[in-house]
Chain A
């Protein structure tokens, strides 16, 4: 008989490239591809498309970063470039996601500082970069212009576009050859709408990653999990407006009650468990990039993804 999974999909997830090698005009020694799947995540003797990746998130202003993440890293947090280089060497994530938390301060205006930060991070690490800019329409234009320019040629993934504020992000991405994260609040129709809006600005589909927004485990994660499954399902059924790879971040995991209230070394373990128990399911639901903030979450996630991907049984988790 040869019983196996039943696949009758017609659609395919688009491919997105992050990072540019020397030959392509960038400086990355490591370029990543996501998407390309023709079936449910990890399904098939040789799964189609590209393996899900793990991004490590850090911030240029660590005072606006969860203590559970900075405590473990220690002094490295005071220099963003050093932090990135150290994380790459010690914890080997697939990508670095830099949050420009400095822009979250009221009255922020020092955009030149952003440029310097990005340049120094690009020098410090060979990994492809995801950069998160401001979230205030009043400064978006200046901030994204600066990020786009500082990372020109490096094909970064630029975040975050939302329905109410996507033009500055899209403009910077188009002017300097980057891709865009499109975030909508856990709603498949809104995700689709935003993709259409972005395409209307001239941004091609293969430069969009969907972020359906991820509620923390125990705090709405089930909605995020299902919306990711629905997006993937619709794309495989042939809806090309949803056929972009997805990115999911365990954003609020390190501040949930369970982590805050755990004592001593248990706090560390709970933080890592919360990131693993939300981000691995996110890949199972269809996310191509999952993002964590605790460095110790990276190895466990990567080896679990390897085993789900090709059955490699690496001792780990």
Chain B
């Protein structure tokens, strides 16, 4: 709930003294509202204004970074309960766990899998995010060795999972400078864990039996000076987990309980339902998801689910308009028109590849709308097609003058034909029928 500029203005001293760096209190209020200034810049705020502004200009779910370098991830900073209200912003990190009873070789094998595995979908590379390292042996040396084995092969974000501060410290000694998530502080040892979090500048996960004790614990930790917190809501019961994560998000977004305004961590190995807890975590507000080894099929499915849920509902994934080739098309190869919604592009491209007919794809800019949506909203029209043909030099690429348009664009066929002066062939509606269509209908 961000305050409007005028609501903020009412809380300011109205001295217009410019000490905040702004010409007037009102312009300062506008900056605050847009998140472009910090309340502390005004030296004359009273206590009441400080509390209100401090709380309302901070994102309701705190932003946290885990790891360093290229693969570092950002979580939190979420603003809504449902993705359709705006969007979910920072997708959850999916961490594959190793433990300190495994051999160094076994650990490295898993780490390399996470480091190198890529699933490319609709033009985007999807990857697992990092490594969880569990202390099972219960003593510092094996833990430090396991962390060392991970570090020896990859610079990935890490979650260090040990309840004993002495064990944790041994792990941090190895990788503490790379901003791992410390997992986890509990009511009995949070002071020591806070000390470690401060010493190494790391985010800290918190664990407690109920949401109330979790809120209390987060209060204690901020009082100790640790503000980058993550709330662990793992539970053998999916019901408990989903209810807790929903409650945390509701209390955070509504700012009812700022002590719960932190990202959520879930260890999916806690019940008998690894896949189901991953699914629940991805859909319902998990930000750090730790799982034991993940079978290939589950890995693909969870990466795609995460991509789906974290796609901005207002801004579909797009590809750059242009002339694309499937195979090595000759001058007599067919040209197919389509839109720059990546789902449309990649679906069509898949079927074209399967048809084994080399061809050109002419991609026009419909701002990421699908064929039918673009036709319905007028974003696909003859001038767009004409300009694209000129811009990408299509006439120089092929010897014929025929353009195949999507079946759903049939109502535009006459107008396109007129505008471009080419023959227009209306293709099938469903891309699955494209091979059959090309075989029967394509003659230059």
Verify A304–B275 contact, CB threshold 8 A: yes
CB-contact partner of B343 in A219, A281, A317, under 8 A: A219
- Please indicate the chain B residues that have their CB under 8 angstroms from the CB of A45 in the complex: 243
Interface bits B299-325 vs A (CB < 8 Å: 1, else 0): 011101101110101000000000000
Interface bits A259-283 vs B (CB < 8 Å: 1, else 0): 0001000100110111011101100
- Please indicate the chain A residues that have their CB under 8 angstroms from the CB of B211 in the complex: 3-4
Q: A222-B311, A304-B238 are in contact. List 17 more A-B contacts (CB 8 A).
A: A3-B257, A3-B260, A4-B211, A40-B246, A223-B313, A225-B283, A230-B84, A262-B297, A274-B301, A280-B276, A281-B283, A284-B279, A303-B276, A307-B272, A307-B276, A308-B242, A312-B237
Verify B284–A217 contact, CB threshold 8 A: no
Verify B272–A3 contact, CB threshold 8 A: no
Q: How far is the CA of A300 from the CA of B238 in the complex (A)?
A: 14
Q: How far is the CA of A5 from the CA of B295 in the complex (A)?
A: 33
User: For chain B, which range describes its interface: under 10, 10 to 19, 20 to 34, or 35 or more residues?
Assistant: 35 or more
Q: How far is the CA of A270 from the CA of B382 in the complex (A)?
A: 41
Assess A217 versus B238: contact at CB under 8 Å? Given A300-B275, A304-B276, A317-B275: no
Instruction: Identify which of residues 222-268 in chain A touch chain B, using a CB-to-CB cut-off of 8 Å.
Output: 222-223, 225-226, 229-230, 233, 257-258, 262, 266
Verify A257–B84 contact, CB threshold 8 A: no
Number of residues from A at the complex interface, CB < 8 A: 54
- CB of A23 within 8 Å of the partner chain: no
- Please indicate the chain A residues that have their CB under 8 angstroms from the CB of B274 in the complex: 317
Verify A257–B350 contact, CB threshold 8 A: yes
Instruction: Identify which of residues 348-376 in chain B touch chain A, using a CB-to-CB cut-off of 8 Å.
Output: 350
- Please indicate the chain A residues that have their CB under 8 angstroms from the CB of B280 in the complex: 280, 284, 308
- Please indicate the chain B residues that have their CB under 8 angstroms from the CB of A281 in the complex: 279, 283, 305, 309
CB-contact partner of A307 in B210, B246, B271, B284, under 8 A: B271
- CB of A314 within 8 Å of the partner chain: yes
Q: How far is the CB of B418 from chain A (nearest CB, A)?
A: 31
Verify B246–A43 contact, CB threshold 8 A: yes
Q: How far is the CB of A219 from chain B (nearest CB, A)?
A: 7
In the complex, how many residue pairs between chain A and chain B have their CB atoms under 8 Å apart? 154
Verify A3–B212 contact, CB threshold 8 A: yes
Residues of B within 8 A of A (CB): 82-84, 121-122, 210-212, 215, 236-240, 242-243, 246-247, 250-251, 254, 256-257, 260, 271-276, 279-280, 283-284, 295-298, 300-302, 304-305, 307-309, 311, 313, 343, 347, 350
- Please indicate the chain B residues that have their CB under 8 angstroms from the CB of A226 in the complex: 82-84, 313
22 A-B pairs whose Cβ atoms sit less than 8 Å apart in the complex: A1-B215, A3-B210, A3-B260, A219-B347, A221-B305, A222-B313, A223-B313, A230-B84, A233-B82, A269-B295, A273-B297, A274-B301, A277-B302, A281-B279, A281-B305, A284-B242, A285-B283, A307-B238, A307-B271, A308-B276, A309-B239, A317-B273
Q: In this complex, what residue of A is CB-closest to B275?
A: A317
CB-contact partner of A313 in B247, B260, B272, B284, under 8 A: B272
Verify B309–A218 contact, CB threshold 8 A: no
Interface bits A26-59 vs B (CB < 8 Å: 1, else 0): 0000000000000010111101000000000000
Verify A222–B238 contact, CB threshold 8 A: no
- CB of A25 within 8 Å of the partner chain: no
- Please indicate the chain A residues that have their CB under 8 angstroms from the CB of B256 in the complex: 6
Residues of A within 8 A of B (CB): 1-6, 40, 42-45, 47, 217-223, 225-226, 229-230, 233, 257-258, 262, 266, 269-270, 272-274, 276-278, 280-281, 284-285, 300, 303-304, 307-317
- Please indicate the chain A residues that have their CB under 8 angstroms from the CB of B239 in the complex: 42, 47, 307-311
CB-contact partner of A3 in B247, B301, B311, under 8 A: B247
Verify A225–B273 contact, CB threshold 8 A: no
Q: How far is the CB of A286 from chain B (nearest CB, A)?
A: 11
CB-contact partner of A4 in B238, B247, B296, B304, under 8 A: B247
Q: How far is the CA of A217 from the CA of B283 in the complex (A)?
A: 13
Secondary structure of the A side of the interface? helix
CB-contact partner of B308 in A1, A42, A222, A300, under 8 A: A222
Q: How far is the CA of A7 from the CA of B276 in the complex (A)?
A: 24
Verify B250–A5 contact, CB threshold 8 A: yes
- Please indicate the chain B residues that have their CB under 8 angstroms from the CB of A274 in the complex: 301
Assess A5 versus B243: contact at CB under 8 Å? Given A273-B300, A313-B236: yes
Q: How far is the CB of A106 from chain B (nearest CB, A)?
A: 15
Q: How far is the CB of A212 from chain B (nearest CB, A)?
A: 13
Q: In this complex, what residue of A is CB-closest to B84?
A: A226
- Please indicate the chain A residues that have their CB under 8 angstroms from the CB of B215 in the complex: 1, 3
Q: In this complex, what residue of B is CB-closest to A276?
A: B275
- Please indicate the chain B residues that have their CB under 8 angstroms from the CB of A315 in the complex: 272
Q: How far is the CB of A30 from chain B (nearest CB, A)?
A: 24
